[in-house]
Amino acid sequence: MTELFSAYTAAFLRGLADYARVEAAEPDIPPDAAPSYIAVSQRLEADGSPLVVGLAACEDAFFTLAGGYSGVSLDGMEELAVDAVSELFNVINGRFSSEMRARRHAVSIVDPPRHRYGAALPADAPISRPIASPFGTMRIAAAREEFLPA
């Protein structure tokens, strides 16, 4: 799963740049854990096995992603911002699926994104990486089972 997640991380960072106009990178040193404003997850299937990917973001990063993807500021408009970030996540995951199919890996989106306010990605997620941006901290993770409560 590590190789797959490395490919996912690269696709995620390209997706942020291409679709939300947000430059972000994996920091050399993990950033201090910031309170998570919201977490989004989506269930995929990779080569016949479940793969749940997630994104947790601080408030500033979340609204920056929403505005970058939608093209308008959505500060303070939580429902619209959730819709925008969920669609951004779906688009990034669709792009990842296409890229992996080109590498002869079967990756499919199984469920639409789900979100949870105040939720952090689980500390025991098998794979988790910090993402640093000028707008705040984010974390992406991957697991075999859903980690956000319904």
What's the pLDDT tens digit per position in 20-36?
888 887 776 555 555 57
User: How much of the chain exceeds pLDDT 70, in percent?
Assistant: 91
Instruction: Report pLDDT for 86.
Output: 92
- Rounded to an integer, what distance in angstroms lies between the CA atom of residue 92 and that of residue 98? 10
The pLDDT of residue 124: 67
Would you state the structure tokens that stand for residue 59, as one six-digit string?
A: 């408030």
Straight-line distance from the first to the last Cα atom of the chain, in angstroms, rounded to the nearest whole number: 25
User: CATH classification of 2-143, choosing from 3.40.50.360, 2.30.180.10, 3.40.1160.10, 3.40.1550.10?
Assistant: 3.40.1550.10
Alpha-carbon span 27 to 41, nearest angstrom: 22
Mean pLDDT of the chain: 84
**How much of the chain, in percent, has pLDDT values that exceed 90?**
17
Determine the average pLDDT of the residues in 91-107.
89
pLDDT of residue 18 exceeding 60 = yes
CA-CA distances (angstroms) from residue 140 to 8, 12, 72, 132?
10, 9, 24, 11
Give me the pLDDT at residue 125, please.
Answer: 73
Over residues 127-142, the mean pLDDT reads: 85
Amino acid at 41: S
Contact 58, 34 (CB under 8 A): yes
Closest listed residue to residue 65, CA positions, set 20, 35, 25: 20
**pTM here?**
0.83
Does residue 82 or residue 128 have the better pLDDT? 82
